[in-house]
Structure 1
Amino acid sequence: MITKIHLNKVASYTTSATLETDKKVNLIYGLNGTGKSTFSNYLHKKMDDRYKCCSIEGLTDDHDLLVYNQSFIQENFFEDDSLKGIFTLSKENKEAETKIANALEEIKKLQSNRDIKAKELDTEKKSLNKKLDIAKETLWKIKTDYSGGDRVLEFCLDGYKGSKDNLFNHVIALPKPSVKPLKNISDLKNDLQSISGDNAEKYIELLHIDFSYQNTQTKNLLDKQIVGNEHSSVSQLIKHLGNSDWVKQGLQYIPQETENSTCPFCQEDTISKALLDSIRDYFDASYEADITALKEFLKVYSDGIQNLPSKSVLESNPRLEDYRRDFEIKFAAFTKVLENNKKLIEEKIKTPSVSISLADSSKLLEELNEIIGRINLSIREHNKNIDQKDIVKSNIKKVFWDIMRWDYDQTVSSINADKSTSQIKIHSLETSLKVNSESIATQHAIISEEQKQTVNIESAIEKIRNGLNDLGITDFEIKKHSENLYKIVRRENEDKVFHSLSEGEKMIISFLYFLELCRGKKEATDAGKRKVVVIDDPISSLSHIYVFNIGRLIKNEFLGKKKTSTDKETGEQKIELEYNYEQVFILTHSLYFFYEMTETNHDFRKESQNLFRLIKNENGSRFIPMKYEEVQNDYQAYWFIIKDEEQHPSLIANCMRNIIEYFFNFVEKKDLNNYFQQEPLKANKFQAFYRYINRESHSLGQNIFDIKEFNYQDFRDAFRELFKVSGYEEHYKKMIRK
């Protein structure tokens, strides 16, 4: 069964239009020129190159598509003087008839089973497609996040920005990295920006810090308790006091006149020259040499600290930014140790008798230089990258997709698992369907072979004659012309009779022939394919009496017959619809005929029929689903059209004129000229509308374009004013709201 019909880039279908259905019976209403003929012609000759942008879903090889339209009439009645015979089964060969019946029953079972499998296959494919669409939408976020504006990584998406399918296929084909990428998106942006534009600047490497001012000799001096001459007369006293540093410091406070001078320690006049000489003799040349060595070491150590690279200068290098925290910690720890050591040396000079030990800064210096080494490696890479921008961008692109594959792994893994599971099921169903089709082909072969013994064309001839008689048509008939051909004859005349028929007679005989074609077979060997029937405007040239009769034929043959059956479980009787054909599409321009074809029972209609309106505006033809309650007469349909300003101008104006003629000439019997002499219809902007409405021939509607007179709003305003001045404004409001 056909589920979708897509029409695109052909005739009035300038943009894609889709009719989607799940029903046996599909009724399509559309005014002339909206695209009905294109619809039926496509189904009649769907392989024609004109329809290369069109497609059908649901039609399989075991469907026979039968289309009744003007092309069918032209091919069968105008081009040839004789008609091809329609073969029907006779009752003469019971054995063949039984074999055919058994084969048809088997085909019915096989087709039923295939329909179930096909539905499962369709459901599985739709389910997989839905999952694929969700996955594609999820991965499309990569495009929206990293392209457009000043997105620096947009170049990574080259080739994948214009299609969700391309991006999706690219990502799922990527292997997942074995470990999480070391760099993140921010790192990649920084890497690219560092070699782009104003940032494309090479940097000088940082110098390693050297600080080695502590040796064994220095260590011995700092450990040494520096004291005076032990042979001095005061050495025992100073040793007893245990504080030579205190005595040494006190010397600076003794005045130049030493005899009977005031002691800086006891503040008595006890200092004599002899005592002062003894004290000074205690602090001999060896003592002074050690103190001098300490002071020199302090100066060298302090100069070393002072000559360290400035922290601010080091941090001014942009490549240090990635290591700033580690650098600041190591630099602060190192310089803190140096400053503490400096203070210890200063204390040693003040109190040389006290041993000190400086903290070892070598480990901290090694760690600091290790950080500087890493910074210099980054600087070398940066400088190299500037010289090799293409390689860098290529590496950035690779890492970018590694990150995307890692970040979207849940989506990729999930859809890959779904695809694998679904494809196994799809393969199994397709294999089953292939076996099923082969079995059906076997049964078709049996039918073709047996039908050779039990088909004829006489039955179809008789039914067409009966159809003509039922319609009261007796002045021409159809008869057998040769073994497999018919001919239309009028009394004794058998040459080109079809050309002499009226349009209505041509329509009737061609439709009766088509009806028998649907019931029978084109060839004696045709097997029992499922038939999809398309009927395009079968009543376009018929009088009302024939419209009714043709309508009855169509309803009885194509729209399903009510059949009473008993429920096996409950025993209750129920009414079901039984169909002669797989599916039917009926197109018409007549709302009366459209209404006649609709099923009046709500439940049956809901089960079996879809209703569509085919419209055309400046955007082309398109299908609109209809509800039964929307089915209106022609007068109401004209109102529907004029409310859509996108409809073709000549169609809108023509519908306005039809409404006015129907309402004022046939319903109210009013003279329009009197109304157009009243305000505001006398306004200049309404004169084009007045001239158009008063033209005698509808065919002149095309002149609107030639004189550039059509203005939708002006015409609609004038249309409203006409009903207003004539006293029927309420009627206008009621109809324009529907």
Structure 2
Amino acid sequence: MIENITIKDFATYDNIGIQILDLKKVNFIYGANGCGKTTISNYLYDNSDEKFFNCSLAWQSDIPLDTLVYNKEFRERNFGKGKLIGVFTLGEATAEQVKAIADKTEELKALKADGIKKRETQTSQIQKKETLENDFKEKTWTKIYKKYEPTFKEAFTGTLQKESFKNKFLQEFGTNTATLETLANLKQKAKTIFGEVPETITTINPLDFERIIEIENKKIWKKIIVGKADVDIAKLIQKLNINDWVNQGRDYLQEDETCPFCQEKTITLNFKNQLESFFDETYLSDIKSIKELKQEYNSLTQNLINELNSLETNQKDFKNSKLNIDRYSAFLKTFISQITANSELLSNKVKEPSRSIKLISLKEQLDLISELVVNANAEIKAHNDIVANFNTEKNSLIKAIWKLLIEEYKTEITQFNTVKNGLIVGIITLKTQIDAKLIEFNLLDLEIKNLSKNFTSIQPTINEINRLLKSYGFLNFEIVPTSEEGFYQIQREDGTIAETTLSEGEITFITFLYYLQLAKGSISEDSVNDERILVVDDPISSLDSNILFVVSTLIKEIIKEIKLGTGNIKQLILLTHNVYFHKEVSFIDGRTKKCNKTNFWILRKKDKATTLQSFLMENPIQSSYELLWQELKNESPISSLTIQNIMRRIIENYFRLLGKYGDDYLIQKFATKEEQEICRSLISWINDGSHSINDDLYIELQDRTIETYKKVFKDIFLLTNHEGHYNMMMNINENAE
């Protein structure tokens, strides 16, 4: 069956269009002329036409059925040249043969029902799988992507949509073999790799301070440097501990014998010789050494300070510095203060060589600074290695990041895959079963078609159409086979072809009867039993009121079969603009107002665009009690069939509502046998629950008989003391006399 219809961007349907949702077995669509009913029927006839590009159909279980459409185009296609293509139905077949076909047809229905059930189960499994995947997609997006996107956004390149992220996540779970790293480590790497494209960093020159330490460790700094002890003057100098003072005073000795201090002639040649002997070559060599070492030490340390200060300045300005600049600055400050202290000690040693000094060791501080430099260079090397092999390192980092993510969500992924794989296995199993059922169905369907070919004929269709024509009073023409095999034509009683002399209403009625036969059979003998959908668009537009009731009765017979599930017609979509026809064909009975197998809609045209209103099971055009009386008051000629139905409906509505008048009670109110029979005929349909027309009531009655019906109808109200209601509904003024 058709479940939903969408019509838009064509004719009176704008780009929003309409959606006819939740179609049932029986569907009534009411709409005035020009509101777009024929557009719907034409689309259902041929939805492959490119003009319906934006329209769509949804089939139950995705199984399309043959759709047979009746509208103006149907009449033109099938009666345009005055002849009709033959319709095959089961003809010369024995009861046993018909039963064999029927049994196999029922078996085919069971196969189809089983296949549909399995397909529905498969669809349910597919929907569960889609729901599972959507839920998993939302969870991974919320719990993983949103959590890590600010830090690892570049690792998610190409997966910035929920679906792609989910797919990548599952793919990595199955293939990622990277080593699991800590989040902190990955964040640190990401700063280098996911920031600006990194550049090579120059390594820091290692510190060279071996010579400084070597000078510091010279024993001369502790050595007491004094003159030669075996010189006469030595005893006095050493006793007075004036070695350094005397040595400095030597620089002030003049060429003559004048003492630089007392200015007396006391500096004899002997005294000078003794001074020279006291401050011998050893002494002078030591003095020279401490002066040279001091100068070298000061020069080396100053150069090192300059180098370290320059390094500090450069690293502070370098945003990608790997040096721990805070610790470096602290160590450097201590180092400079130590050098300052050592410089003062060295100066004192030069001034007073006889003193023993101990320099502050710079090794510990230089080792600390050197360690910082070594660590920085190690990081620089690692950084430069990354730069040298950037793409490889970047890919490795991305792999490591995904490894961390899937490890964090490992339990959920495993559970998801288990459930999903179970659903996939079920879906594949069901598909295998469905395919097997389809093969079995096609083989059985072919067998039925072959059996039907042996017993099908177009003659039963001719007989049935002619019977219906006579039953409804069309006595001056009939359907006969043409000389061309497989076609019909319309022939008058005198044998002439009636193609050009038929009225519009007669042609419409004949083609509708033909359509009904086509609905039960087929123009192809091998598809007589195929299931189908009927779409009926205004079948009474050119018919008079006498035929309206006949057509509605025929359609209601089809509706009854559809609701019971018998026959090969599975769904009806009826479109009409005629209010009375709509009421008549949708009427169930006087008690049942709704049916869960029926839905109603109204099409309206507003501002040149068609809109649709759904009423579900609620008939928007209810059977109107007043409308029935209005038809009864109509002065124009009316057939006995129509008037009998109107009267029957009024009696059913009115007296059943009172609830105390049985059928026999009403009949016994009449004195004559004739009047009792007429009353019985009016209400007989109520007794057996059928609204079909009895064969003996098909022939048009004379006006006298119609008047008799009217009299009996009126007497029912008179004899039951409800004359006042009759007069009110017929607009009869009781005081008019």
| Shorter-chain TM band | 0.5 to 0.7
Q: Is the 8 A contact 1:208 1:369 kept in 2?
A: no
Post-superposition shift, 1:510? 1.7
- Per-residue deviation, residues 555-581 of structure 1 (Å, max 9, x unmatched): 221255777xxxxxxxxxxxxx86763
The one-letter code matched in structure 1 to 2:516 is L
Q: Is the 8 A contact 1:227 1:353 kept in 2?
A: no
How far apart in 2 are the matches of 1:405 and 1:594?
A: 68
Residues 425 and 457 of structure 1: is their aligned pair in 2 closer, same or farther, counting only changes over 3 Å? same
The one-letter code matched in structure 2 to 1:607 is N
Q: Is the 8 A contact 2:584 2:623 kept in 1?
A: no
Q: Which runs of 5+ in 2 are unaligned?
A: 147-152, 249-260, 262-274, 349-354, 625-737
SS of 2:370's partner is helix
Residue 486 of structure 1 is matched in structure 2 by: 488
Residue 577 of structure 2 is matched in structure 1 by: 589
Q: How does 1:98-137 map to 2 (within 5 A)?
A: 98-131=99-132
Residue 305 of structure 1 is matched in structure 2 by: 305
Post-superposition shift, 1:311? 2.4
Asked if residue 427 in structure 1 is aligned to residue 416 in structure 2, the reply is no
How far apart in 2 are the matches of 1:289 and 1:133?
A: 90
- When structure 1 is superposed on structure 2, of 405-414 and 355-364 the one drifting more is 405-414
Q: Is the 8 A contact 1:88 1:459 kept in 2?
A: yes
Asked if residue 608 in structure 1 is aligned to residue 593 in structure 2, the reply is no
- Per-residue deviation, residues 83-116 of structure 1 (Å, max 9, x unmatched): 2233333474244223212211211221121110
SS of 1:488's partner is strand
> Which structure: larger Rg?
2
The one-letter code matched in structure 1 to 2:444 is Q
How far apart in 2 are the matches of 1:90 and 1:36?
A: 36
TM-score computed with the length of structure 1 as normaliser? 0.61
Residue 626 of structure 1 is matched in structure 2 by: 615
Q: Is the 8 A contact 2:530 2:568 kept in 1?
A: no
Residue 2 of structure 2 is matched in structure 1 by: 2
Post-superposition shift, 1:434? 1.8
Post-superposition shift, 1:117? 0.8
Residues 133 and 540 of structure 1: is their aligned pair in 2 closer, same or farther, counting only changes over 3 Å? farther
How far apart in 2 are the matches of 1:124 and 1:479?
A: 55
Asked if residue 521 in structure 1 is aligned to residue 529 in structure 2, the reply is no
The one-letter code matched in structure 1 to 2:426 is K
Residue 505 of structure 1 is matched in structure 2 by: 506
- Per-residue deviation, residues 233-267 of structure 1 (Å, max 9, x unmatched): 799999xxxxx9xx999xx9xxxxxx9xxxxxxxx
Residues 436 and 155 of structure 1: is their aligned pair in 2 closer, same or farther, counting only changes over 3 Å? closer
How far apart in 2 are the matches of 1:463 and 1:402?
A: 81
Asked if residue 331 in structure 1 is aligned to residue 328 in structure 2, the reply is yes
How far apart in 1 are the matches of 2:13 and 2:139?
A: 34
Residue 663 of structure 1 is matched in structure 2 by: none
Alignment length, in residue pairs? 563
- When structure 1 is superposed on structure 2, of 284-293 and 116-125 the one drifting more is 284-293
The one-letter code matched in structure 1 to 2:314 is V
Q: Is the 8 A contact 1:203 1:379 kept in 2?
A: yes
Q: How does 1:158-557 map to 2 (within 5 A)?
A: 177-179=176-178, 194=196, 205=202, 207-214=204-211, 217-221=214-218, 225-227=222-224, 292=291, 293=293, 297=297, 300-308=300-308, 309-320=310-321, 323=322, 327-328=324-325, 331-332=328-329, 334-335=331-332, 338-339=335-336, 341-342=338-339, 345=342, 352-354=356-358, 357-360=361-364, 361-362=366-367, 364-372=369-377, 374-375=379-380, 420-481=421-482, 484-492=486-494, 494-495=496-497, 497=499, 499-526=500-527, 528-557=529-558
Residues 546 and 169 of structure 1: is their aligned pair in 2 closer, same or farther, counting only changes over 3 Å? farther
- Per-residue deviation, residues 667-707 of structure 1 (Å, max 9, x unmatched): xxxxxxxxxxxxxxxxxxxxxxxxxxxxxxxxxxxxxxxxx
Residues 401 and 485 of structure 1: is their aligned pair in 2 closer, same or farther, counting only changes over 3 Å? farther
Residue 70 of structure 2 is matched in structure 1 by: 68
SS of 1:218's partner is helix
Residues 204 and 121 of structure 1: is their aligned pair in 2 closer, same or farther, counting only changes over 3 Å? closer
Residues 165 and 297 of structure 1: is their aligned pair in 2 closer, same or farther, counting only changes over 3 Å? closer
Residue 682 of structure 1 is matched in structure 2 by: none
Q: Is the 8 A contact 1:67 1:535 kept in 2?
A: yes
How far apart in 2 are the matches of 1:494 and 1:404?
A: 88
Q: Is the 8 A contact 1:81 1:487 kept in 2?
A: yes
Post-superposition shift, 1:415? 7.3
Residue 270 of structure 1 is matched in structure 2 by: none
Residues 450 and 365 of structure 1: is their aligned pair in 2 closer, same or farther, counting only changes over 3 Å? same
The one-letter code matched in structure 1 to 2:209 is S
- Per-residue deviation, residues 151-206 of structure 1 (Å, max 9, x unmatched): x979965xx99x987887788777854337999899889868746xxxx9x88846
Residues 154 and 347 of structure 1: is their aligned pair in 2 closer, same or farther, counting only changes over 3 Å? closer
SS of 2:574's partner is strand
- When structure 1 is superposed on structure 2, of 203-212 and 299-308 the one drifting more is 203-212
Q: Is the 8 A contact 2:552 2:585 kept in 1?
A: yes
Q: How does 1:660-675 map to 2 (within 5 A)?
A: none
Residues 233 and 489 of structure 1: is their aligned pair in 2 closer, same or farther, counting only changes over 3 Å? farther
Q: Is the 8 A contact 1:447 1:527 kept in 2?
A: no
How far apart in 2 are the matches of 1:33 and 1:400?
A: 64
How far apart in 1 are the matches of 2:451 and 2:595?
A: 40
Q: Which runs of 5+ in 1 are unaligned?
A: 146-151, 239-243, 253-258, 260-276, 386-390, 564-576, 636-738
Residue 653 of structure 2 is matched in structure 1 by: none
SS of 1:517's partner is helix
Q: How does 1:136-147 map to 2 (within 5 A)?
A: none
How far apart in 2 are the matches of 1:604 and 1:187?
A: 75
Post-superposition shift, 1:297? 2.6
The one-letter code matched in structure 1 to 2:332 is T
Post-superposition shift, 1:446? 2.5
How far apart in 2 are the matches of 1:225 and 1:185?
A: 55
SS of 1:607's partner is coil
The one-letter code matched in structure 1 to 2:77 is E
- When structure 1 is superposed on structure 2, of 442-451 and 47-56 the one drifting more is 47-56
Post-superposition shift, 1:549? 3.3
How far apart in 2 are the matches of 1:434 and 1:504?
A: 49
The one-letter code matched in structure 1 to 2:41 is S
How far apart in 2 are the matches of 1:207 and 1:154?
A: 32
Query: What RMSD in Å do the two structures reach over aligned CA positions?
Result: 5.5
The one-letter code matched in structure 1 to 2:307 is N
Q: Is the 8 A contact 2:315 2:325 kept in 1?
A: no
The one-letter code matched in structure 1 to 2:3 is T
How far apart in 2 are the matches of 1:234 and 1:22?
A: 136
Percent identity reads 23
The one-letter code matched in structure 1 to 2:615 is M
How far apart in 2 are the matches of 1:12 and 1:188?
A: 60
- When structure 1 is superposed on structure 2, of 90-99 and 203-212 the one drifting more is 203-212
- Per-residue deviation, residues 358-391 of structure 1 (Å, max 9, x unmatched): 4443464254244246447757987x99xxxxx9
The one-letter code matched in structure 1 to 2:433 is S
SS of 1:542's partner is coil
The one-letter code matched in structure 2 to 1:218 is I
Residues 358 and 316 of structure 1: is their aligned pair in 2 closer, same or farther, counting only changes over 3 Å? closer
How far apart in 1 are the matches of 2:427 and 2:357?
A: 96
